[in-house]
A = this chain, B = another copy of it.
Amino acid sequence: MSGGPLDVVGIGNAIVDVLSHADDEFLVREGLVKGSMALIDTVRAEALYDSMGPAIEVSGGSAANTVAGLAGFGGRAGFVGRVRDDQLGAVFAHDLRALGVEFDVAPATEGPPTGRCLILVTPDAQRTLNTYLGAGAALGPDDVDEAQVACAQITYLEGYLWDPPAAKEAFRKASAVAHASGRKIAFSLSDSFCVGRWREEFVHLAEHEIDVLFANEDEIRSLYQANSFDDALRHVRGHCETAALTRSEKGSVIVSGDEIHVIDPEPVASVVDTTGAGDLYAAGFLFGLARGLDLFTCGRLGSIAASEVISHMGARPEISLAELAKRKLGEIA
């Protein structure tokens, strides 16, 4: 641990996003399922990149986007994930550190290159993700700093961690340390296909390990194989301490014991790219939670952060979220 105690430490796959516009025909031709995340290997990553249009590169990774957003609110954040000592690894580390996020995992000096996510943004602003985990796949329990987790208010982990082999051990270590220190574990279901791959384990986690669960409508319905959002809500209520459920243009719903909040989305002039919407919602919510704010305000902060990130390409905020929140809510924390 290099600094003082953190509001949130995020653990996830270190990824640089490669964003390109594409039409629906491109997705069909490449066999891609719109709105989903697919894991791809080196050969597929190269072939898909070759067929993609020109792109921009922006640091990404679900939990990394969340801690970047948290820092944008003025929160103290750290990140745990693995890059290589290559140009994209340097970009990833720079972008986190430039925001003041603690990122102390040394880059690998051999093995696969820094992970990347080939993202196709369709004209409806939906994003279709193709993730090559690269160096990120080596993440394991040794990367988790016990002192950092023990001192952080909240440790936040992405569901995508269930895909690389050793990362769930990192989750288990972090969860044990956090709970032994009276801290909270937050978790994102990440993607409905990811939920499909790990449903039983995720249901068990929600019930027994997770203090704050983030999911969008597709993910929470997939988790409980529910026919409707309302049905999923009924399942999660009482089976997870706090759940924050995002519903795109319908806003979000927060349940925590008997408490429930139905929160409107923030208005957005033009939705350009929904990449990072869920990650940034989590950023605002967790910032509020770490600062002891009520759940309604936590949800509003989440909505405000999400509204900023969907108004441009890329999954990291382009303006100060602290100032944006102040403009919308007044002084908050």
Contact in complex: A21, B53 (CB < 8 Å): no
The minimal Cβ–Cβ distance linking A10 to chain B, given in whole angstroms, is 15
- Closest residue of chain B to A71 (Cβ to Cβ) is B54
Q: How far apart sit A86 and B89, CA to CA, in the bound complex (Å)? A: 12
Give the contacting residue for A98; candidates B54, B87, B312; CB below 8 A: B54
- Closest residue of chain B to A72 (Cβ to Cβ) is B54
Give the contacting residue for A55; candidates B50, B52, B87, B95; CB below 8 A: B95
Is A59 among interface residues, defined by CB-CB distance under 8 A? Answer: yes
Contact in complex: A318, B94 (CB < 8 Å): no
**A contacts with B: majority SS:** mixed
Q: How far apart sit A88 and B314, CA to CA, in the bound complex (Å)? A: 18
Q: Digitize A19-31: 1 where CB-to-B-CB distance is under 8 Å, 0 elsewhere.
A: 0110000000000
A99 partner residues in chain B, CB cutoff 8 A? 53-54
A314 partner residues in chain B, CB cutoff 8 A? 56
Is A198 among interface residues, defined by CB-CB distance under 8 A? Answer: no
Is A58 among interface residues, defined by CB-CB distance under 8 A? Answer: yes
Q: How far apart sit A114 and B88, CA to CA, in the bound complex (Å)? A: 13
The minimal Cβ–Cβ distance linking A51 to chain B, given in whole angstroms, is 9
Contact in complex: A54, B316 (CB < 8 Å): yes
Q: How far apart sit A316 and B21, CA to CA, in the bound complex (Å)? A: 13
Q: How far apart sit A21 and B21, CA to CA, in the bound complex (Å)? A: 23
Where the two chains meet, the residues of A that have a C-beta atom closer than 8 Å to any C-beta of B are 20-21, 49-50, 52-59, 68, 86-88, 91, 94-96, 98-99, 113-114, 312-314, 316, 318
Please tell me how many copies of the chain the complex holds.
Answer: 2
A316 partner residues in chain B, CB cutoff 8 A? 54
- Closest residue of chain B to A95 (Cβ to Cβ) is B54
Q: A21-B318, A88-B87 are in contact. Are A57 and B57 (CB under 8 A)?
A: yes
Apart from A55-B95, A56-B56, A313-B318, list 6 A-B contacts with CB within 8 A: A53-B98, A53-B99, A54-B98, A56-B57, A57-B58, A86-B87
Report 19 cross-chain contacts, Cβ distance below 8 Å, ordered by A residue: A20-B98, A21-B318, A49-B94, A50-B94, A54-B59, A54-B68, A54-B95, A54-B96, A54-B99, A54-B316, A55-B91, A55-B94, A55-B95, A56-B56, A56-B57, A56-B314, A57-B58, A57-B91, A86-B86
- Closest residue of chain B to A99 (Cβ to Cβ) is B54
The minimal Cβ–Cβ distance linking A60 to chain B, given in whole angstroms, is 11
Name the 9 nearest CB pairs between A and B, nearest first: A57-B57, A54-B95, A87-B87, A54-B98, A56-B58, A53-B98, A87-B88, A56-B56, A54-B99
